[in-house]
Amino acid sequence: MKFGVIVFPGANCDRDIAYILRDILGQPTRMIWHEDSDLSDIDVVVVPGGFSYGDYLRCGAIAQFSPAMRSTLDHAQQGKPVMGICNGFQVLTEMGLLPGALVRNRDMNFVCDRLPLTVERNNLLWTQGYKKGQIITIPIAHGEGCYFADDDTLKALEDNRQVLFRYCDMEGNASEAANPNGSLNNIAGICNKAGNVLGMMPHPERAADAALGNTEGCNTDGLALFEGLVQSAMAVA
């Protein structure tokens, strides 16, 4: 399974992801400069976190027009996997690959924390490395991560079971107290209707290497997402 990681001016999680994919998981991984448009050799496109184009105007607003993202749109429309993490999630909503928008956190703070999430379903490419209902702990770091959508969109998301991760307490309750940013329905990550496009505010790549100290005990909660992806490729091959 070959991964492509988009590199924007202002991206800052691109190398973290490449390190997990290439060095920890041994997968072929290519960095794709935002001005490149050839994704023909890529299986999974990763849109990383950071501050693409300085996040001017709105987070992720300008990145959507880059040649690499125009090709990512085609890639997604062909049903191939695309994942956006943090700023990448914002880019994917801005370009309409995912519904809704990410707005300023409820309490105006930049939230940098390590929080429990529930895995809402595990029968998708993105979450098959987890158990259904599993509580995982993944770092977040964002100022504009409050998920917003109008009532109809939100209802469709829930009806179609497109919510993959929700902020929760240690017991797995998606309570208001466990909601770090005011996201509607405690939404931390969603997929599109077809399931091939994932967007999430938490950073699984930051909880995937024991050396970083983010994986207490044997907890490699973020790694399981990427391992699940790789295993699915092996199953197909």
Stated length of the chain:
237
SS3 115: strand
According to DSSP H, which parts of the chain are helical? 14-18, 67-77, 87-94, 151-159, 223-236
**Is position 142 annotated as part of the catalytic site?**
no
Residue 227 exposed, middle or buried by CB count within 10 Å (0-12, 13-18, 19+): middle
98-135 burial, b at 16+ Cβ within 10 Å, e below that, comes to: bbbbbbebeeeeebeebbbbbbbbbebbbbbbbeeebb
Active site residue 168: no
The pair of structure tokens assigned to 42 is: 């890529």
Q: Where does this chain touch another protein (CB under 8 A) — which range of 103-111, 113-121, 198-206, 219-227?
A: 103-111
Is residue 146 a contact residue for another protein (CB under 8 A)? yes
First and final C-alpha spacing in the chain: 10
**Least distance from another protein to the Cβ atom of residue 149, Å:** 7
By CB under 8 A, is residue 67 in contact with another protein?
Answer: yes
Read off the tokens for 8: 């924007």
Least spacing, CB of residue 9 vs another protein, in Å: 11
Total Cβ atoms within 10 A of residue 154:
18
34 is catalytic: no
Please tell me whether residue 148 binds another protein under the rule CB under 8 A: yes
Smallest gap from Cβ 108 to another protein, in A, equals 5
The answer to whether residue 62 forms part of the interface with another protein (CB under 8 A) is yes
In the list 48, 50, 100, 195, the residue contacting another protein (rule: CB under 8 A) is: 100
61 binds another protein (CB under 8 A): yes
Q: Applying CB under 8 A, which part among 18-26, 104-112, 119-127, 194-202 lies near another protein? A: 104-112
Minimum CB distance to another protein, residue 107 (Å): 7
The answer to whether 52 contacts another protein (rule: CB under 8 A) is: no
Q: Which of residues 108-137 bind another protein (CB under 8 A)?
A: 108
Residue 65 interacts with another protein (CB under 8 A)? yes
Q: Under a CB-based contact definition with an 8 Å cutoff, are residues 51 and 61 in contact?
A: no
Q: Does 176 bind another protein (CB under 8 A)?
A: no
Element containing residue 116 per DSSP (H, E): strand 111-119
Q: Does 228 bind another protein (CB under 8 A)?
A: no
Q: Which residues are catalytic?
A: 86, 203, 205
